[in-house]
Structure 1
Amino acid sequence: MPGWVAAGPEGIPAYTLARAGAAMNAAFARRLAAVGLRPHTFSVLVHLAREPALTSAELARRLAMTPQSMSSLLHGLADAGWVERPSGARRGQRIDVRLTPAGRQALAAAGPVLAELGRPEAMGLTAEEAGTLHALLERVLAAVDTTDRPRRTP
């Protein structure tokens, strides 16, 4: 048996990072649920708040979702009144999705929840450790990210 198997996966940094990511994803989802949002919903609202008009295809690429999944998600967001999508567009015509005032309100409600989750103490870290962790995670992302979205340089 290889030594790393006998020692257990806890000694493998990538394994620990994956476990920490899964735990943080679960905490992120729980906190967003408290204000009526889900992670993908939150991400769509953030993208639309930053860029006032994006197509469904652009959003799907940014969130690494299929166009069909994005269409379904946007349908739910439109039903909730958080986004608007013009109807009656012709084939090949650009159809922009826009954030509504209600969508901005929903996004604003997430602010305090995310601020609490992002506090270094909530992650068991000091402010200095949180800064170091953030810088290291950015480096890991730059090294392993194979999507075609723009990369930030540390």
Structure 2
Amino acid sequence: MVGAQADPAPEPPEWVPRDPDHLPAYALARAGAAMNDLFARHLAAVGLRPHTFVVLVHLVRAGAEPLTSAELARRLEMTPQSMSALLHGLVAAGWVERDEEVRRGQRVDVRVTPAGRDALASATPVLAHLGRPQTLGLSAEEAGTLHGLLQRVLAAIDADPGPGA
């Protein structure tokens, strides 16, 4: 309608006019995103990506026992198709080997190669740098406190059934 008054917009929730940084969950999400970016940038300097790094960590920790493609997908919370694409790149790089002569639905064993172990070892200085409390702008005591608090947050998140439960 021309000239008609629109209904006034409803008032926003009380927290909207303030900076959302006062919300711990928002600040934690921002810090997590910033840390993910920092981690990715530092890993890139040694030729790794975060998912690549985590796959290599899981394979090296498994020792002589191979992990399956499906198990890696579960551990990294990825779809089997995404894991397959990721592993294809790792095979091409020479960092992992996997059974290629398998049919759809069959177990696909994945093993780290010596080159994959070397690639993972190249991340040691990155982890040392990012593990320093000063990198996060914290003292050693504050870093210890933060770590403990983050472990509690993660446990609470794992136990949270969600809204309306």
TM-score, length-scaled by structure 1: 0.90
Q: What is the one-letter code of the residue matched to 2:122?
A: A
Match of 1:115 in 2: 128
Alignment of 1:4-19 (within 5 A): 4-19=15-30
Match of 1:73 in 2: 86
Q: Which runs of 5+ in 1 are unaligned?
A: 147-154
| In the alignment, structure 1 residue 86 sits paired with structure 2 residue 86 | no
Match of 2:116 in 1: 103
Give 1:45 shift.
Answer: 0.2
Q: What is the one-letter code of the residue matched to 1:59?
A: L
Tell me, in whole angstroms, the C-alpha distance in 2 between the residues paired with 1:65 and 1:13.
Answer: 27
Q: Deviations over 1:61-97 (max 9, x none)?
A: 0000000000000000000000000222355543210
| Identity score, percent | 73
| In the alignment, structure 1 residue 40 sits paired with structure 2 residue 51 | yes
| SS of residue matched to 1:49 | helix
Q: Which runs of 5+ in 2 are unaligned?
A: 1-11, 160-165
| SS of residue matched to 1:116 | helix
| SS of residue matched to 2:152 | helix
Give 1:127 shift.
Answer: 0.5
Tell me, in whole angstroms, the C-alpha distance in 1 between the residues paired with 2:19 and 2:99.
Answer: 54
Give 1:6 shift.
Answer: 1.8
1:31 counterpart (34, 42, 46): 42
Tell me, in whole angstroms, the C-alpha distance in 1 between the residues paired with 2:94 and 2:85.
Answer: 14
TM-score, length-scaled by structure 2: 0.84
Distance 1:91-1:5 versus aligned 2 partners, 3 A rule: closer
Of the two, which has the highest radius of gyration? 2
Q: What is the one-letter code of the residue matched to 1:38?
A: R
**Higher relative contact order by CA 8 Å / sep ≥ 6: 1 or 2?**
1
| SS of residue matched to 1:98 | strand
